[in-house]
Each structure stands twice: as structure tokens, then as C-alpha cells.
Amino acid sequence: MSKTTIYYFSATGNSLAVARHLTEALDVEEPISVPGSLINEDPYLEARGATSLGFVFPVQRATIPEMLRGFIQSMPIDPHCYYFAISTYSLFGSNEFWDIDELLVSKGAALNYAASVKMMGNVGIVGPSTATINKRLERMEHQVDGIATAIAYHQQSFFPRANKLLGWAVKNFTHLYRKYIVFRIDKRCKGCGICVQVCPAQNIQLQKTDSEVSAPIRSDKCEACLACVHWCPASAVRMSKRRHTSYHNPRVLPEELNPKKPKAASAPPAEVVQRITEEPEIRVLLRDQEKPSGAQKQSMSDAEIAEALSSLES
Ligand SMILES: Cc1cc2nc3c(=O)[nH]c(=O)nc-3n(C[C@H](O)[C@H](O)[C@H](O)COP(=O)(O)O)c2cc1C
Ligand code: SF4
Ligand code: SF4
């Protein structure tokens, strides 16, 4: 019996929109979130017994998102399974398919089919216009219909050889970027909790601070995916001093990005979020895992967070 499983990673919804269209065109089960799976008891439940298995993801820094890399690295691989990968990108891809192929080859399988879908960019200074969004979504549907046919017939495809020098540079850049990245949340924060919901790394907690503007916090859990920046309805999350345009796919809602997330473990209950919304002194902090040397301690432990939240409830 054949079984097709499609996993996706998506920060601003483009890859989820593509993954959904692909599952509809193939008439298979809905796509499964990688961050959502990773917090399940068995992250690879849906992969077991698959005869055809695919990944849909954004190109990030010329390759695959780090979380997806880790997911594939630990995944049980069946050498008889048909593997495919679909990337979404805004300018150009590079090593993403080669990187996935290498991971699969190291486990006795290989990447059989790969395709790239041009979508809306989420790193530019100017966001995409409505006309561009509509045009690309329409084109995406046609392209993904063709991709679905290729996958249904288990077609094989070739992808460009990896640029090893670029791969090395990207790997080191990504390491530094994740280590030193700083997010700020400014006083426009309304405490709505959307950033908590969309963060694939469960890296954000709502916390009470006594300052007007929350302090810059960095964390080695951060995937530097920019989901928090783009989904914040108040444009309150920023990277360093730079202000980003806000973009997220119009076909995706924030709560649809990473389902299967046990909300109780990562976010406070709805009534607490409501209370936080009403209290102006409550701000959001990105959880700190690793401090810059000499920096003041500004993160809170789980126990401190629980204490702060329960004091809000009382
Ligand atoms: C941190 C980061 C790095 C990116 N790097 C690239 C890149 O190297 N090449 C490219 O064409 N697009 C790049 N993009 C753009 C995304 O690949 C593109 O907008 C994608 O469709 C976003 O998908 P998502 O909405 O599912 O996250 C990058 C986006 C982010 C946030
Ligand atoms: S920073 Fe987070 S909690 Fe604050 S308004 Fe933005 S999304 Fe909502
Ligand atoms: S903190 Fe923001 S950038 Fe970092 S992983 Fe979470 S959503 Fe992505």
C-alpha cells in the first residue's frame, strides 16, 4: 500500500501554502509541521511506513533551515522510499537540495526529485505588493500542479552540484548569525502572544518587565527565521536597530503554522494573555539562553516565569 507524507517548515507561510496545495493536488493527508512534530513523543510517527516522503521549506541563507537539517539527520530513513524536496525562495536557491541529498545518502537513501518555487521574499527592505503576491500565488498553483504529477509518477530529477565554498561560508555565517543575533521588542508590543505561537523554536515567552521597552535578548535556540518579526501585528519585533517590512502569506493564519504545539507548555493560558494585553507594563522578552559577555542578566528561568504568570492571575 502506498503512503505519502509531506513535512514542511515555514516561517511566513509561503512553504505551508505550497505544501497544502501539493497535498491537495496529490490527494494525500495534510502536510505536517516539522516544529510541531519535534515536540511530539514520536516526531517521526507519520514518516513510518511512507513509500513517498517529501519536505517543503524556505531557502534560508542559500540552504535548508537548520531545524529541518536536524530533523532529517535524526529521521529513520527507508532506502526503498521515494524522497522529494520542494524549496520556496525569493531570489535564488543554491545548496539546499544537495544538502538534503547528502543527508539521505549518508543513511543509504537518496533524494529522488527536487523543485524550487519562486515565492514572496521576506528579507527585503520593501515588502511585496498585492499585485506581486497575487501573481506569484497563481503561478505557484500551476507549478505545484506540475510538481504533483511528477511526484505521483515517481519521476527522478537532477539538481545542481553544491558549491562547497558557498556551503562552508554559509555554515559559518549561520553559526555566527545565530550566536550573535539580537532581537528587540519595543513599546508598541500589545502582548497578544502571536510571536509565541509562530516561533518554531519555542524561543519566546511572555514575561513581565518593569522597563518600558524590553531589553535585547539573544538565544542559541533561535533559528533566525524572522517569523516573530513578520507576524507581529504591532511591528514591535526588530532585529538590532533595523526595521523590517512585515510580510506573511495571505492564505495562512498564525495559528496554522505550527500545529500540534502543546500551547500550555510554551505560552500562558488565554485568560492570562488577555490580562497581559490589558496591562501596559507587561512586555515580551525573547528567552535568553546565552548572554553576551558582560551583559546584564535579563532572562528568567521557568520557575520565575511561572511565578510571574501566577502573580498576574492572582
Ligand atoms: C533568514 C532568511 C534567509 C533567506 N535566504 C534566502 C536565500 O538565500 N535565497 C532566497 O532566494 N531566498 C531567501 N530567503 C527568502 C525565503 O526563502 C522566501 O521568502 C520563502 O518563500 C519564505 O518561506 P516561508 O514563508 O515558508 O518561510 C530567506 C529568508 C529568510 C527569513
Ligand atoms: S511582540 Fe509578540 S506579543 Fe507583542 S504585539 Fe508583537 S506579536 Fe504580540
Ligand atoms: S525568536 Fe523569532 S527569529 Fe528566532 S526562531 Fe523564534 S520566531 Fe524565529
SS3 of residue 204 by DSSP = strand
The dihedrals phi and psi of 183, each to the nearest 5 degrees, come to: -105, 145
pLDDT of residue 218: 54
At residue 167, what is the residue type? Answer: G
Q: What is the 59 CA–ligand 1 centroid distance (Å)?
A: 5
Read off the pLDDT of residues 138-179 as tens digits, 9 standing for 90 and up: 999 999 999 999 999 999 988 766 677 777 777 777 777 766
- Is residue 295 predicted with pLDDT exceeding 90? no
| Cα dihedral: 33, 225, 55, 76 (round 10) | -70
pLDDT at 203: 83
pLDDT at 173: 73
Residue 198 in contact with ligand 2 by CB distance below 6 A: no
Highest mean pLDDT range out of 182-186, 241-245, 291-295, 306-310?
Answer: 182-186
Ligand 3 center–CA 237 separation, angstroms: 10
Give the span between the Cα atoms of 89 and 183, in whole angstroms: 24
pLDDT tops 70 at residue 184: yes
Other beta carbons within 10 angstroms of residue 233's beta carbon come to: 12
Look at residue 294 in the predicted model and tell me its pLDDT.
33
Cβ–ligand 1 distance for 58 under 6 Å, the answer yes
On the question of pLDDT at 251 being above 90, the answer is yes
Stretch 256-276: mean pLDDT:
55
| Ligand nearest to the Cα of 195, by number | 2
* Residue whose grid cell is 505550527: 258
Q: What is the pTM of this model?
A: 0.82
Closest ligand 3 atom to Cα of 204: 1
In short, whether 35's Cβ falls inside 6 Å of ligand 1 is: no
> 10: CA distance to ligand 3 center in Å?
12
Span from the CA of 103 to the centroid of ligand 2 (angstroms): 36
Q: From the CA of 193, give the closest atom in ligand 2.
A: 3
Q: Which residues touch 73 (CB under 8 Å, ≥6 apart)?
A: 103
Which amino acid belongs to residue 261? K
Please tell me the distance from the alpha carbon of residue 110 to that of residue 102, in angstroms, as a whole number. 8
| SS3 readout for 87-104 | EEECCCCCCHHHHHHHHH
Residues 29-75: pLDDT tens digits?
999 999 999 988 899 999 999 999 999 999 998 889 999 999 999 99
Residue 282: pLDDT band by 50, 70, 90 thresholds?
very low
Query: How far apart (Å, rounded) are the C-alpha atoms in residues 47 and 78?
Result: 10
Cβ-based neighbours of 276, under 8 Å, separated by 6 or more: 191, 193, 206, 268, 282, 312
Mean per-residue pLDDT of the chain: 79
Close Cβ partners of 308 (under 8 Å, ≥ 6 residues apart): 207, 208, 300
From residue 99, how far is each of 18, 46, 66, 85, 234 by CA, in Å? 21, 23, 11, 11, 37
Cα separation, 133 vs 85, whole angstroms: 23
CB 204 near ligand 3, within 6 Å: yes
pLDDT at 81 over 70: yes
Candidate of 15, 179, 199, 232 to mutate for ligand 3, largest count of ligand atoms within 8 Å of Cβ: 199
Does the pLDDT value for residue 269 go beyond 60? no
pLDDT, position 111? 96
The finding on whether 151 has its CB within 6 A of some atom of ligand 2 is: no
- CA of residue 294 to ligand 3 center, whole Å: 24
- In this structure, which ligand is nearest to the CA of 11? 1
pLDDT of residue 259: 86
Q: What is the mean pLDDT of residues 13-23?
A: 97
288 lines ligand 3 (CB under 6 A): no
Q: Ligand 1, residue 247: give the atom nearest the CA.
A: 25
Determine if ligand 2 sits within 6 Å of the CB of residue 282.
no
Q: Would you say residue 213 has pLDDT above 80?
A: no
- Cell numbers given for 233: 501585528
Among 5-9, 218-222, 262-266, the minimum mean pLDDT is found in 262-266
Contact between 223 and 200 under an 8 Å Cβ cutoff? The reply is yes
Domains in the chain with CATH codes: 4-165 (3.40.50.360), 181-313 (no CATH)
Cα pseudo-dihedral 179, 32, 18, 112, rounded to 10: 90
- The mean per-residue pLDDT over the stretch 93-118 comes to 92
Q: Which amino acid is at 286?
A: L
